[in-house]
Every structure is written in structure tokens, then in C-alpha cells.
Amino acid sequence: MTKAKASDEAPPVSVGAVEQTESTEPAESAPKHGFLNRLYTGTGGFDVIGKRKLWYAVSGIILAIAVLSMVLRGFTFGIDFEGGTKVSIPAGDPAISTTQVEEVFSQALGTAPESVVLVGSGESATVQVRSETLTGEQTDELTAALVEAFHPKGPDGQPGPEAISSSDVSPTWGGQITNKALIALVVFVLIVSIYIAVRYERYMAISALATMFFDLVVTAGVYSLVGFEVTPATVIGLLTILGFSLYDTVIVFDKVEENTEGFEHTTRRTYAEQANLAVNQTFMRSINTSVISALPIIALMIIAVWLLGVGTLQDLALVQLVGVVVGTYSSIYFATPLLVSMRERTELVGNHTRRVLKKRARAAGTDRAEESGGDELVEAAAAKTPAKAAAAGGTGRPSRPTGKRKSPRN
């Protein structure tokens, strides 16, 4: 009866452990799977949930750096948001340096430009100068000074002012663009919040929304650190990567929901272990999704930005690349650990976890008793028969007579 009860309460063992116990072949003959194979099949056994305090610390450091950068460095808003004048001149061969262009600008107008950047490479490279809104006369003076200093070639191959282009954006237009961008961001977050609240239970919804805001803050912080201009393309890219982050989190949460369905009726695994299993099972899918998403973005940065010199796509490509990386990290190392931490504070999950751990402790104690059962039998036998105990290695002592010895009958 004792052995039957012990077998019922024993914790589940893996298939490999069962085969090794029942087989008479040495353990070295068992097949060994590599790291990539275990990662692909979801059997890697990565303890993400068990080490969630480490990931909380890492996420906290990343978040702190992003917030400090936004507070101390701020953002470089593009001309579409703040208004102003942008002048573009072909870089030429050899390329004109940004320092030379800045000197010509200062000499022609008596003031320094807000920014001078080199965009693209080769024949398509251009130098873009951004400044406060210039009048028509100031733009003409700057154009004449640039033509005289660098002799840029126009579409007909001849040096002239046709090679230099300029565009103006009024501050009013910039304010309208800013308001529309904020409205789009708020509406997107609101719609996503409603969907998550309807789709998932309370703790999953809170974790998913916290992850989305984590991705938003970190991506904005990276933009602040790098110093790229915030343009309408940046806002479009930000909305795109928030959708990607939500998609990746939904993949993991769907698996967690599947694994933990009816978990309170079984004592095989705790809620945290079921969630950790879900993370392992979706590891490869998350990696594949991120790689497939990152490859077109990298191609966009190389071809459109570096080779063709399309500066607008530079902002779009950077925010998407950062968002894909941050979204993948947060869906694995932030969303699910946060979910488990909140669920373990509930009475249902807490009681279930204690029940599973008590069962394992009882099973471990029963196994130890069975393993030491042979020694106990030897000691019991040694107490009764000293000769047999000595033969078996026991230390029993001869028993003393308790009564008078009877004489044999005639």
C-alpha cells in the first residue's frame, strides 16, 4: 500500500528519465540533442520565469536609461513639427563636408544653422541644411553663396542654382502635424486597450498593456540617445512597432492560456512552470518572426538610406528596427514574468503552488524511505539473529537469557 501511494504522488518524470531507468544500456548511448535543436523543439528548458528578478533588473536599467535620456537630452524634432526652412545641395565628388556648408551658411546670413547632415552616399549623397524659417531674399542669398563656394551641378550637368532645392514649413503647419500625431497615438493605444481588455483576463491585459508602454518608452529613449530627427515617418513607424509588440505578446499569452487551462485541477506543474513551458515553446517562433521582420528593415536602411540617400526612410527604418528588437525582448522577458508575478499573489495560484510543492516534498520523502528500506531490514534482522547480522555486516549483540534453563525430559 505504501509503494502504491508513493507512485501516485511522485512528481512526473521526463521521457528520457524513464527510458534511462528501464533500459539496461549505458547512459552514454542516449541521443544527445544540441542547443539549437532543443531551442527549435521548445525543449530547451530555459528558466525565464524562475530568473524573473534578473530580467526585472535588466528591464529597469533599460527603462531608466531611456527616461533619463528623454529628460536630459530631449528630442530633435523635424521641420514638419517645428517649422523652418530646409536647403539641400548635392554633396558632389569629392563630397562636401558639413563643416564647410555650415561656414558658408554663417557667412551668408550671419547666423548658424540648426543642423547640417550628410544623407546618402556616392552620386546620390546630399547635404541637408535646416534652419529657422528664411525669407525669400535670405534663401536667394544662401543659394548664391552655396553655388559660388561649391559649384554644384544641376540636372543638365552644369553648375547653377538649379542644383539647390529648398522647402519651407510654417510653425502653424508644424503644430497641426504634432496634434494629429498625438491624436493618432492616443486613438491607437485606446483601441488596443479595449481589444486586450476584452480578449484576455485581467492580469494578462495589465501585463500586455504594461509591455506595450515599456516598448514605447524604450524606443523613444533610443531615438533620444541617437539624436535622429522625429518626423511624421517616425510616428508611423512607432505605431507599426507597437502593433508588432502586441502581436508577439499575444503569441506567448495564447500559449500560456493554453497551458494553464484548468491548472488548479492538476498537481503536475505549478502555474509558473506552465508559463515557463509556454515561453520555451514559443521561443523559436518569436525569434523567427523577429528575424523575418528585421531583414526587410535592414534592407530598407542599406538600399534606401545608404545607397539612394532617402533621408525620410532613415527615420522610419530606425524606429522599426529598434521596435522589433525591443518588442521581442519584452514579450519574452517582461510580459510573461510580470503576468506570473501578479497571478502568484492571487489565492487560487498561491494555494495551488503550495499544494504542488507539498506533494513533491511528500513524494521525495517516500522515495528516500524506500531507498533506505534495505538497510532498515538488515538492522532489524541483526537485532534478532546476531550471527546473520555479523554475516551481513551488522553490529548486533548476543541476547542475554531472561529465565532459567529447563532440563531435558527423560
Per the listing, cell 509591455 goes with: 211
**Residue 208 scores a pLDDT above 60:** yes
The edge-to-edge listing of strands for the beta sheet with 126-131 is: 115-119, 126-131, 84-90, 165-169
Q: Name the pairing type of β-strands 126-131 and 115-119.
A: antiparallel
Judged against a pLDDT cut of 60, whether residue 281 lies above it is answered with yes
Q: How high is the pLDDT of residue 210?
A: 92
Q: Tell me which of 5-9, 184-188, 198-202, 271-275 is least confident.
A: 5-9
* pLDDT of 85: 86
What's residue 341's pLDDT? 93
How far, in Å, CA of 113 to CA of 130, rounded? 6
Taking CA atoms, 221 is separated from 5, 71, 155, 320, 333, in Å, by: 58, 9, 40, 14, 19
Domain coordinates of the chain in residue numbers?
Answer: 52-74+173-356, 84-169
**Distance from C-alpha of 334 to C-alpha of 218, rounded to nearest angstrom:** 13
Cross-strand bridge partners of residue 129: 87, 116
Taking only the tens place, the pLDDT of each residue in 239-257 is 878 877 788 888 889 889 8
What's the CATH class of domain 84-169?
alpha beta
Residue 89's DSSP bridge partners are 127
Contact between 80 and 169 under an 8 Å Cβ cutoff? The reply is yes
pLDDT, average across residues 380-406: 46
> Helix count (H) and strand count (E) of the chain?
16, 6
Q: Is the pLDDT of residue 409 over 50?
A: no
pLDDT value of position 160: 78
Stretch 39-45: mean pLDDT, rounded? 58
Assign 93 a pLDDT band (cuts: 50, 70, 90).
low
- In whole angstroms, what is the distance from residue 205 CA to residue 347 CA? 19
pLDDT at 180: 82
pLDDT of residue 334: 93
Q: Does domain 52-74+173-356 have CATH number 1.20.1640.10?
A: yes
> If pLDDT is split at 50, 70 and 90, which confidence band does 399 have?
very low
Phi, psi at residue 203, to the nearest 5°?
A: -70, -35
User: Taking 80 as the threshold, does the pLDDT of residue 36 lie above it?
Assistant: no
Please report the pLDDT score of residue 218 as a whole number. 92
Mean pLDDT confidence for 103-121 = 82
Query: Is the model's pLDDT at 337 over the cut of 90?
Result: yes
